[in-house]
Every structure is written in C-alpha cells, then in structure tokens.
Chains A and B, each alone.
Chain A
C-alpha cells in the first residue's frame, strides 16, 4: 500500500521554483523518502532520496521536516521538460525492497 499523500496536480511557471509536497505521516524510522518522476511514455526516473537531512543534487532538492512526516521536492528553475508525474515513495532499507507507487502529482510547467 502507498504510504504517501500528494496533491493530484500542480502548475508552475517556467523558470520559477516548483515545490511539490508529500505527506508521509506513518513513516518508520528505517524508511527513506524517494522521489521519482515519469515523463509521458517513459519509465520512471529516479530524482533524489533522503532519510533525515535535506538533500540536494543536480536535479533537485529534498526538504524533510524534522518529524519526518512530510517532505517537499524542489525543482529550482522549472523548465518545460520538467512536465511529468512526480511520485513520492517511502521505502525501508531492510525487508521488502520493492517500491509502491501512489497516484503522484502531475506537474505542468507553463511557458
């Protein structure tokens, strides 16, 4: 079962920061927060993941609240190519290793 809640859709102006929220209030201590995105007609693409601390890579930043019950994925300068469905997933590092996908957030970047 998906353990996350995300808004169904969001719009963002091109060049602006896109902030995608995710609630994971039942997250366990050994579960990481992962973000993937799926551009139309492609397989999901890994973006970033984190446990407690905020993380940043060349694609995005991940902000995790201190209580770990929610997080925000930030695309600092959204482009039209960032239009996709973004999935927030929690996964433990032990036990079952599969990913359970929720419904995700459909982000539309507007010119």
Chain B
C-alpha cells in the first residue's frame, strides 16, 4: 500500500490566518481525498482532489474556504482559509486506486488548533 507523508503534523494558528497542509505519496495514485475530524467526532469528507482539474466538494464545504490543489498524481494540498476556532480539527489525507475493491490509505493527519 502507498505511504503518505502529511505535513505539518500539528499547528496552532491565529484566527483570520490560513494554513496549507501538504500530502505527499510515495507512488502515483488515482484518488486523493481530504477529510476533517472534529474533536470527538467521526471523519467527514471535505472533497476529492482531482488531478488537473478543480476539486469536487461535498455539501457544506466550499472552495473559497478550503482551496485544494493537485498538480500531479503524488501530491496535493489543502488550505484552511480565514480560520476561526470552529476550524480546530484533525485534517486527513487519503489515497487509493480507482475502482476495484482496493482499500484506501490514510495519512497520520494534521491537528489544527485555532486560537
């Protein structure tokens, strides 16, 4: 399975600022996803990062707040913009192969605290 390097592992940010989270994979993958896990909650899908085109966002998430880049098949970034304390969460990158019955691999996550 793919190995994911997610950076930073944690950060404390001031409200109103932005943070960019990086997801680097050691092999080319078709599918890349970004999830959010609020304190004590399950994972919620933010968006699917599409290579060479705009990301596909889930209901409740918008590009202005969570811009995503995916310049190639091994790298993606998620930016949390104009942060507020409500954005304090763990953000996780996940990768997989298209179709079939393959499982997905998750990064170790970025623990974000907004003060």
Which residues of chain A have a CB within 8 Å of any CB of chain B? 32, 34, 36, 41-46, 49, 51, 87, 93-94, 97-104
Contact = CB atoms under 8 A, between A and B. Distances in A.
A43 B107 contact: yes
A89 B93 CA distance: 18
Contacts of A34: 103
Contacts of B106: 43-45
Given A44-B43, A97-B96, 16 more contacts: A42-B108, A43-B4, A43-B94, A44-B92, A45-B106, A46-B103, A51-B101, A87-B42, A93-B101, A97-B48, A98-B33, A98-B45, A99-B33, A101-B43, A101-B44, A104-B42
Contact of A102 (B42, B99, B100, B108): B42
A48 to B, nearest CB: 8
B6 to A, nearest CB: 8
